[in-house]
Amino acid sequence: MPPKKEEEEEVDYMTMVIEEPKVTPSFRPKKDPDRGRTKSKKQLEEEAAEAQKEAMATKIDSSNKGYKMLARMGFSGGALGRGADGLIEPIQAEQRDGRGGIGLDTEKKRKIAEATEQETKRAKTEADEYIKRKRDEVETADKERNLRKAQNIAEEMDTEAEKKQKAKVEGEKSEDASPPAEKRLAEIPVLYRSPVFLRRLQEERDRSRRSKRRAQDYGEDDSDEPRDFSGRITHQSNKKREHTLDEAKLKTYVEDEDAELKEFEALAVAERLEKLVMYLREKHWYCLWCYAKYDDQELDGCPGLDEDLHG
Amino acid sequence: MDPKTNPYLAHRYDGAGDNSGGGYMPRQPKTANSSTALSNFTMHNTTADQARKAEDGPGNPFTGKPLSQRYFNILKTRRNLPVHQQRDEFLKLYQESQILVFVGETGSGKTTQIPQFVLFDDLPQTRGKMVACTQPRRVAAMSVAQRVADEMDVQLGEEVGYSIRFEDKTSQNTIMKYMTDGMLLREAMNDHNLERYSTIILDEAHERTLSTDILMGLLKEVIPRRKDLKIIIMSATLDAAKFQKYFDQAPLLAVPGRTHPVEVFYTPEPERDYIEAAMRTVLQIHAAEAEGDILVFLTGEEEIEDTARKISLEADEMIREEDAGPLLVLPLYGTLPPQQQQKIFEPAPPPRRPGGRPGRKVIISTNIAETSLTIDGIVYVVDPGFSKQKVYNPRVRVESLLVSPISQASAAQRAGRAGRTRPGKCFRLYTEAAFKKELIPQTYPEILRSNLSSTVLELKKLGIEDLVHFDLMDPPAPETLMRALEELNYLGCLDDDGELTELGRMASEYPLDPCLAVMLISSPKFYCSNEILSITALLSVPQLFVRPANARKRADEMKDLFAHADGDHLTMLNVYHAYKGDQAQADARNWCYNHYLSHRALQQADNVRSQLARIMERQNIDFVSVHHSHEKFYENIRKALVAGFFMQVAKKQSSGKTYATVKDDQVVMLHPSTTMGQDSEWVLYHEFVLTSKNYIRTITPVQPEWLLDISPLYYDIDTFKKGEVKTGLLRTLERMRRQEHLHKKS
If you measure CA to CA, which chain A residue comes closest to B274?
A101
Mean pLDDT of B501-527: 96
DSSP annotation of B8 reads G
Smallest Cα distance from B139 to chain A, Å:
29
Question: A98-145: per-residue pLDDT in tens?
Answer: 888 888 888 888 888 888 888 888 888 888 888 888 888 888 888 888
Mean pLDDT of B313-324: 89
pLDDT of the residue at A28: 56
More confident residue, B372 or A109: A109
Dist CA B412 CA B262 (whole Å): 10
From the list B471, B484, B665, the residue facing A81 with the nearest CB is: B471
Question: Are residues B152 and B45 part of one domain?
Answer: yes
Mean pLDDT of A141-157: 88
What percentage of chain B has pLDDT greater than the value 90? 68
Tell how many helices (H) and how many strands (E) occur in chain A: 8, 2
If you measure CA to CA, which chain A residue comes closest to B385?
A102
Smallest Cα distance from A66 to chain B, Å:
4
Specify the 3-state DSSP secondary structure of A286: strand
Residue B20 has pLDDT above 50, yes or no: no
Query: Do residues B561 and B633 touch, judged by C-beta distance below 8 A?
Result: no
> Dihedral (C-alpha) B459, B463, B468, B472: value to the nearest 10 degrees?
-60
Mean pLDDT of B709-713: 94
Mean pLDDT of B681-706: 90
Q: Greatest CA separation found in chain B?
A: 96
- Find the length of chain A: 311
With CB atoms and an 8 Å threshold, state whether B430 touches A39.
Answer: no
Helices (H), B97-164: 110-122, 138-151
With CB atoms and an 8 Å threshold, state whether B429 touches A102.
Answer: yes
Dist CA B699 CA B645 (whole Å): 11
In a domain, B1, yes or no: no
Nearest to B110 by CA among B43, B200, B204: B204
Question: B95-118: per-residue pLDDT in tens?
Answer: 999 999 999 877 788 899 999 999
Question: Are residues B305 and B237 part of one domain?
Answer: no
Query: Do residues A41 and B658 touch, judged by C-beta distance below 8 A?
Result: no
- Domain boundary residue, one of B392, B420, B447: B447
Question: Are residues B244 and B352 part of one domain?
Answer: no
List b or e across B437-452, with b for residues whose CB sees 16 or more CB atoms inside 10 angstroms.
Answer: ebbeebbbbbbbbbbb
Question: Are residues B248 and B273 part of one domain?
Answer: no
With CB atoms and an 8 Å threshold, state whether B467 touches A73.
Answer: yes
From the list B438, B471, B475, the residue facing A102 with the nearest CB is: B438
Question: A28-70: per-residue pLDDT in tens?
Answer: 555 555 555 667 778 878 888 888 888 888 899 899 999 999 9
Within a 10 A sphere around the Cβ of A250, how many other Cβ atoms? 19
Query: How many domains does the structure of chain B reveal?
Result: 3
> Which chain B residues in 490-529 lie under 8 Å from chain A, judged by CB atoms?
490, 494, 496-498
Residue B91 has pLDDT above 50, yes or no: yes
Question: B251-293: per-residue pLDDT in tens?
Answer: 999 987 777 899 999 999 999 999 999 999 999 999 999 999 9
Question: Are residues B268 and B198 part of one domain?
Answer: no
pLDDT of the residue at B247: 94
Dist CA B602 CA B19 (whole Å): 19
Specify the 3-state DSSP secondary structure of B177: strand
From the list A58, A66, A102, the residue facing B430 with the nearest CB is: A102
DSSP annotation of B202 reads E
In a domain, B606, yes or no: no
Q: How confident is the model at residue B32 (pLDDT cuts 50, 70, 90)?
A: very low
Q: How confident is the model at residue B677 (pLDDT cuts 50, 70, 90)?
A: confident
Phi, psi of A250 (to 5 degrees): -60, -45
Q: Which residues pair with B389 in a beta bridge?
A: B402
Question: B202-252: per-residue pLDDT in tens?
Answer: 999 988 999 999 999 999 999 999 999 999 999 887 678 889 999 999 999
Dist CA B465 CA B473 (whole Å): 18
Query: Does B487 contact chain A (CB < 8 Å)?
Result: yes
With CB atoms and an 8 Å threshold, state whether B393 touches A92.
Answer: yes
In a domain, B74, yes or no: yes
* CA geometry: angle B608, B611, B614, nearest 5 deg: 150
Specify the 3-state DSSP secondary structure of B601: helix
Threshold 0.80, pTM exceeds: no
Question: Are residues B210 and B318 part of one domain?
Answer: no
In a domain, B207, yes or no: yes
Q: Report CA B663 to chain centroid distance, whole Å.
A: 30
Q: How confident is the model at residue B368 (pLDDT cuts 50, 70, 90)?
A: confident
Using left for φ > 0, alpha for ψ between -120 and 50, and beta otherwise, residue B83 falls in alpha
Dist CA B205 CA A245 (whole Å): 96
Nearest to B548 by CA among B285, B185, B302, B366: B302
Question: B338-360: per-residue pLDDT in tens?
Answer: 778 888 888 899 988 888 888 99
With CB atoms and an 8 Å threshold, state whether B494 touches A69.
Answer: yes
Query: Do residues B7 and B150 touch, judged by C-beta distance below 8 A?
Result: no
Smallest Cα distance from B485 to chain A, Å:
5
Question: B112-168: per-residue pLDDT in tens?
Answer: 999 999 999 999 999 999 999 999 988 889 889 999 999 999 999 999 999 988 789
DSSP annotation of B552 reads H
pLDDT of the residue at A5: 47
With CB atoms and an 8 Å threshold, state whether B430 touches A97.
Answer: no
First to last CA, chain A: 106
From the list B438, B476, B494, the residue facing A86 with the nearest CB is: B476
Alpha carbon distances (Å) from B534 to B445, B567, B607: 33, 15, 11
Chain A, chain B: beta-carbon pairs less than 8 Å apart: 201
What percentage of chain B has pLDDT greater than the value 70? 95
Question: Are residues B326 and B417 part of one domain?
Answer: yes
More confident residue, B650 or B324: B650
DSSP annotation of B638 reads H
**Which amino acid, one-letter code, is at B267?**
T
Q: Identify all chain A residues contacting B476, using CB atoms and an 8 Å cutoff.
A: 80, 86-87, 90
Mean pLDDT of A204-223: 72
Supply the mean pLDDT for chain A. 78
Question: Are residues B358 and B323 part of one domain?
Answer: yes
Query: Which range is most confident: A48-57, A83-92, A223-232, B717-726?
Result: B717-726
DSSP annotation of A181 reads P
Query: Do residues B389 and B364 touch, judged by C-beta distance below 8 A?
Result: no
Question: Are residues B136 and B97 part of one domain?
Answer: yes
Question: Which of A304-308, B168-172, B308-312, B466-470 is predicted least confidently?
Answer: A304-308
Q: Identify all chain B residues contacting A73, using CB atoms and an 8 Å cutoff.
A: 466-468, 498
With CB atoms and an 8 Å threshold, state whether B466 touches A74.
Answer: yes
Which CATH number goes with the domain that contains B220? 3.40.50.300
Residue A228 has pLDDT above 50, yes or no: no
In a domain, B45, yes or no: yes
Q: Identify all chain A residues contacting B393, using CB atoms and an 8 Å cutoff.
A: 56, 90, 92-93
More confident residue, B421 or B555: B555
Domain span at residue B651? 647-744
Query: Does B483 contact chain A (CB < 8 Å)?
Result: yes
Q: Which residues pair with B426 in a beta bridge?
A: B264, B381
Supply the mean pLDDT for chain B. 90
Nearest to B531 by CA among B643, B455, B626, B441: B626
Q: Identify all chain B residues contacting A10, using CB atoms and an 8 Å cutoff.
A: none
Here the ipTM equals: 0.84
Dist CA B43 CA B45 (whole Å): 5
With CB atoms and an 8 Å threshold, state whether B479 touches A52.
Answer: no
> Which chain B residues in 655-714 lie under 8 Å from chain A, judged by CB atoms?
655-656, 658, 664-667, 690, 692, 694
If you measure CA to CA, which chain A residue comes closest to B439?
A102
Alpha carbon distances (Å) from B661 to A198, A286, B451, B657, B691: 86, 91, 17, 13, 16
Residue B21 has pLDDT above 70, yes or no: no
Mean pLDDT of B617-641: 94
Question: Are residues B269 and B388 part of one domain?
Answer: yes
Question: Which of A47-56, B78-87, B477-486 is predicted least confidently?
Answer: A47-56
Nearest to B162 by CA among B123, B134, B136: B134
With CB atoms and an 8 Å threshold, state whether A73 touches B664.
Answer: no
In a domain, B232, yes or no: yes
Question: Which of A205-219, A276-290, B433-447, B628-642 is predicted least confidently?
Answer: A205-219
Q: Identify all chain B residues contacting A67, using CB atoms and an 8 Å cutoff.
A: 482
What percentage of chain A has pLDDT greater than the value 90? 4
Query: Does B304 contact chain A (CB < 8 Å)?
Result: no
Q: Identify all chain B residues contacting A96, using CB atoms and an 8 Å cutoff.
A: 402-404
In a domain, B136, yes or no: yes
From the list A66, A81, A97, the residue facing B485 with the nearest CB is: A66
Q: Identify all chain B residues contacting A94, using CB atoms and an 8 Å cutoff.
A: 402, 404
In a domain, B604, yes or no: no
Question: Are residues B354 and B232 part of one domain?
Answer: no
**Which amino acid, one-letter code, is at B55?**
E
Within a 10 A sphere around the Cβ of B732, how many other Cβ atoms? 20
Q: Residues with Cβ < 8 Å from A91, sequence gap 6 or more?
A: B391, B444, B448, B449, B477
With CB atoms and an 8 Å threshold, state whether A56 touches B395.
Answer: yes
Question: Are residues B224 and B206 part of one domain?
Answer: yes
Q: Identify all chain B residues contacting A112, using CB atoms and an 8 Å cutoff.
A: none
Q: Report CA B292 to chain centroid distance, whole Å.
A: 31
From the list B267, B476, B656, the residue facing A87 with the nearest CB is: B476
